[in-house]
Amino acid sequence: MATLCRPSVSVPEHVITMEETLDLARSRHADHPQLPLALRLIENTGVRTRHIVQPIEETLKHPGFEARNKLYEREAKSRVPAVIQRALDDAELLTTDIDVIIYVSCTGFMMPSLTAWLINEMAFDSTTRQIPIAQLGCAAGGAAINRAHDFCTAYPDANALIVACEFCSLCYQPTDLGVGSLLSNGLFGDGIAAAVVRGTGGTGVRLERNGSYLIPKTEDWIAYDVRETGFHFLLDKRVPTTMEPLAPALQDLAGMHAWDASDLDFYVIHAGGPRILDDLSKFLKVEPHAFRFSRATLTEYGNIASAVVLDALRRLFDEGVPEDGARGLLAGFGPGITAEMSLGSWQNGGRA
């Protein structure tokens, strides 16, 4: 049965604190009629620090979509291989052991996908399958886990590599002055994560069931408006309320597996913001402490989009390996509004 091994995570070296973010908002938008509201919303995120691929003075410039996309490609090629290598080492595998690479990102575009470059650059086998996912936003981390699970179910001896590369700072748009945009400027950060799903053996989450759920008629609540200047992020104020309809979907998935979503041993959840975690705690009837890994990611890195779920899982590993058989839930939420969910139990194993 497929096992999700310890993720490797890396964030860029340039750091911006909440205090610096608030000061920038005050200085750049002093005359904005809703500035007090935007400042209050940014403070309420609880994001203490974020990491970005450029110094903040460069991030605030907009040299054009072409220049930004070239920077995305250059930074991805510079940073991703080392993260992959650590994930492979943790899973005790070589590049030649990988049968499929699932690459997720919503903050830059390449064709062919970075997967093709990685296969050549890191000596993956030329028969390695490629599954790039570009339009699921923050939910793509959960989707990547689920597609890796599906692949290893279809091919039980296969191994899948998941890579999430998000440079959200490259989507900053200085002319977008809505409250949602100002909030996003203080919420999103940059990060890269990778993890191996082993078909046999390994220590980590033994994936047992997965599912998806889309809230009807919410497809415009999280979206990109693609213009000459690049990706303009649209965030509806109703997004934080989505846990009320999504919590039952999580409960239903667990129920199909004869589990109770309110009574599990660990939770690895995409933290879009603190309201998401607060509401999920309420509607699932789970203690807030259960979401400590997601809150830590949000506090230290901000919302790093599809990489959040993998970073939260990495923190579970770092806290101490759970007991064999411990049951858990993983979930990512994003545009659609879509939930990508999976159930698994802890396996303390090794190389099969």
Residue 53 CA to residue 108 CA, distance in Å, equals 13
Residue 310 near residue 105, CB atoms below 8 Å? no
Read off the tokens for 35.
Answer: 């500035």
Chain center to CA of 284: 21
**Residue 125 burial (CB count, 10 A):** 12
Active-site residue, 138 included: yes
Phi-psi region of 201 (alpha: psi -120 to 50; beta: other; left: phi over 0): left
Residue 217 near residue 242, CB atoms below 8 Å? no
| Residue 47, burial from CB neighbour count under 10 angstroms (0-12, 13-18, 19+) | buried
Residue 302 near residue 98, CB atoms below 8 Å? no
Set 5, 106, 138, 165: catalytic member? 138
Residue 106 near residue 306, CB atoms below 8 Å? yes
State which amino acid sits at residue 244: E
Residue 242 CA to residue 50 CA, distance in Å, equals 25
Read off the tokens for 326.
Answer: 């411990």
State which amino acid sits at residue 143: A
Nearest to 130 by CA among 120, 148, 150, 115: 115
Active-site residue set: 138
